[in-house]
Structure 1
Amino acid sequence: MSTTMRSVQTAGTNAVEVVETPRPAPGPNDALLRVRACGICGTDTAFLHMGGFPKNAHLGGELRPIVLGHEPAGEVVEVGGAVTDLKVGDRVVVNPQSGHSGIIGCGGSQGALSEYLLLEDVAVGKSVAKFPETVPFAVASLNEPMAVALHAVNRSQAKPTDAVVVFGAGPIGLGATIWLKLRGVRHVVVADVIPERLTKALEVGADAVINSATEDVTARLKELHGEAANALGQQRAGTDVYIDAAGVPAVINAAVNSAKWHAKLVMVAVQKPTDKLDLGGMLRSELTLIASQGYPTEIFEVTPQLVEHHERFAKIISHEVPYAEVERAFELALTPGAADKVVVTLGGED
């Protein structure tokens, strides 16, 4: 096994480079993972838009390059002498927040878009979870974003009797749609402006879709979910839960305009700054606004169902790109509408 490895790091605004770095060696409590697949997240592209990571994460200022990637799946190739619950050959997904040297791919010393990843103080159920050979590495790499999606659904407390609309048919919105249907929610609508994404939403289980670029969202929701009223008795859609996986002000306002009395709005997408929110409309519906961040408990709660339903989750992936073409993978991820979920795949060469 080589003593060096390749890693992908930021190289200025909207640019990446592959660099040669020392291959980490596991200590007694660690394991070494050969990364087989790693998804590209909106967080990765956000770092590229910035041109790096702030040297002072709280105060901003000068930027430094960082190794990217926090959605890995791979194979254990070395274990420390004190590790008892993992062995060479185990296939695992990773909690990127579990390492003591910082969050993987988000300012820590490591990134998962590397050929190898050091699993520090590794423990099954805390830092990694195993998955079987029946699940492709690329699909297993969805574990982390699907945990984000599940947390949003958990925060919504959607019931089987509820009617829900998900705004945004990207990976998180599609994941939320799957989780809602697996939860038994009776009717799930997905809204987006890209027809191909709406087609995919139907493929993963949405009951109906709305093209919000060409259709009146409130009118369609009334048609699909029936009519109700807000706190003032004004006619509104019968939708119980709105999930924002798009992150644009128009989505928030579409929810406010449609919301019945005591509807809920869950924000899981990173929000764009705006002063155009209709707060008075929220008041008229007593709309409950719920923020959803990360995955406090869900990171490995998703794994068994991801394994069981891996063919359904696989539909979320639009592009699998080999590591040798990682620049192209980021071009796809940085181009609006060009891709849904891009996963970089790595071979098994030493």
Structure 2
Amino acid sequence: MKSVIVSGPGTTAMVEVPTPTAGPRDLLVRIRACGICGSDGFYVSNGGIPPRQGATPLGHEPAGEVVEVGAEVEGVEVGDHVVLNPIASRDDMIGSGGPAGALSEYVLVTEARAGHSFAVIPDHIPFDVAALNEPMAVARHAVNRTAPKPGDKVVVFGAGPIGLGAAIGYKLSGASSVVVVDIIPSRLEKALAVGADAVVNSAEEDVIERLTELHGTGTTASGRPRVGTDIYLDAAGVPVVIETAVKAAKHRACLGIVAVHKKPVPVDFSDALAAELDIVLSMGYPTEIFEVTREIVDHWEKFAIIISDRFPFEQALEALEKASTPGAADKVVVTFG
């Protein structure tokens, strides 16, 4: 079968590798779609992931069709459509340093267990949308870390895939107002399309003033005026987001950080202290990988809006290049015939 790997620093290749077969506790899945993550671009530029430096299989956002079921595997049949947990097995991770990646024609799921390493999805869910399952689990974990309550007023900074997924998650969690902040008009249009109540172009508007208009006012612990927003989520990874949230936060507001900050970020703890600001960080998806599957199944048309570009598997190398080019695409999904 064909599989895409990191072949060296800054280079990728589509190579022939043996097609796996399923043992008694395994599933063999024909990949039908695989999303490209920002981390894939990092792996490429870095030349791979130790200890697989120079030969790292890529792809950890898979959806596919079951073609072999081990005799001891329950809850699935040949022909079922599935999404996979790429980190279900630390020894056999799918992509991200594991022995195989989902930018391949087939993937072997070892020690397969329903609800742990795979979940069956209805046949009517498009595979490209199902392939959003992994990144949307990241977004859902970020939402969960900030513990939204029905009626909360939320602002999400960054209208990339994670920010948009979080906006959907907050609305499904009962937030009364979700505002999305970005500087790219097309992203802000997508935010409205997925259900955001309002958007702010921070290149053109004063964010704190606009949030005050939208969410009203609150106070610090000592009664000084602040913005009435309950939850701030940083899905942008820009230092000014942290500065803005800390400066605006009312008493016992929450700041969640899911974005990757590549350099240290200064924090004015006097402002944070005045608000008794809760700061939580979010990484991965300890429990959310199949929690979000139900939401995708129920609202797949909304999640489909997040996809910006689709490439056939034959053009997977071009898809990786586009996904790694700043500003060229928002969410790239590779599809298989």
Compare 217-226 and 95-104 and name the one that shifted more: 95-104
1:15 is the counterpart of 2:2: no
Mapped to 1, the partners of 2:229 and 2:324 lie a distance apart of: 33
Residue 215 of structure 1 is aligned with which of 201, 205, 213?
205
Contact 2:161 2:330 (C-alpha < 8 Å) held by counterparts: yes
Match of 2:35 in 1: 39
Mapped to 2, the partners of 1:227 and 1:98 lie a distance apart of: 44
1:11 match: secondary structure: strand
- 1:232 deviates by 4.3
Residue 68 of structure 2 is aligned with which of 70, 78, 81?
78
Any runs of at least 4 consecutive aligned residues in structure 1 with deviations exceeding 4 A, and if so which? none
Match of 1:106 in 2: 96
Match of 1:48 in 2: 44
TM-score by length of 2: 0.96
Map residues 133-148 of structure 1 onto 2, 5 A cutoff. Answer: 133-148=123-138
Mapped to 1, the partners of 2:60 and 2:198 lie a distance apart of: 32
Superimposed CA distance per residue, residues 235-264 of structure 1 (whole angstroms, 9 cap, x where no aligned partner):
211100001111121111111121111110
Mapped to 2, the partners of 1:241 and 1:254 lie a distance apart of: 13
Superimposed CA distance per residue, residues 86-112 of structure 1 (whole angstroms, 9 cap, x where no aligned partner):
221010000011135332111111111
Residues 233 and 10 (structure 1 numbering): CA distance in 2 closer, same or farther, change over 3 Å?
Answer: same
Mapped to 1, the partners of 2:43 and 2:265 lie a distance apart of: 25
Q: Could you list the runs of 5+ residues in structure 1 that have no partner in the other structure?
A: 57-62
Match of 2:187 in 1: 197
Contact 1:265 1:287 (C-alpha < 8 Å) held by counterparts: yes
Q: Could you list the runs of 5+ residues in structure 2 that have no partner in the other structure?
A: none
Map residues 224-243 of structure 1 onto 2, 5 A cutoff. Answer: 224-243=214-233
Contact 1:173 1:245 (C-alpha < 8 Å) held by counterparts: yes
Query: Cα RMSD (Å) of the superposition?
Result: 1.4
1:317 match: secondary structure: coil
Mapped to 1, the partners of 2:206 and 2:154 lie a distance apart of: 17
- 1:339 deviates by 1.1
Mapped to 2, the partners of 1:12 and 1:259 lie a distance apart of: 45
Match of 1:253 in 2: 243
TM-score by length of 1: 0.93
Mapped to 2, the partners of 1:133 and 1:282 lie a distance apart of: 48
Give the percent of matched residue pairs that are identical in Structure 1 and Structure 2.
Answer: 56
- 1:171 deviates by 0.7
Q: How many residues align?
A: 337
1:222 match: secondary structure: helix
Superimposed CA distance per residue, residues 135-184 of structure 1 (whole angstroms, 9 cap, x where no aligned partner):
00000011111111111111111112211000110111000111111122
Mapped to 2, the partners of 1:232 and 1:100 lie a distance apart of: 48
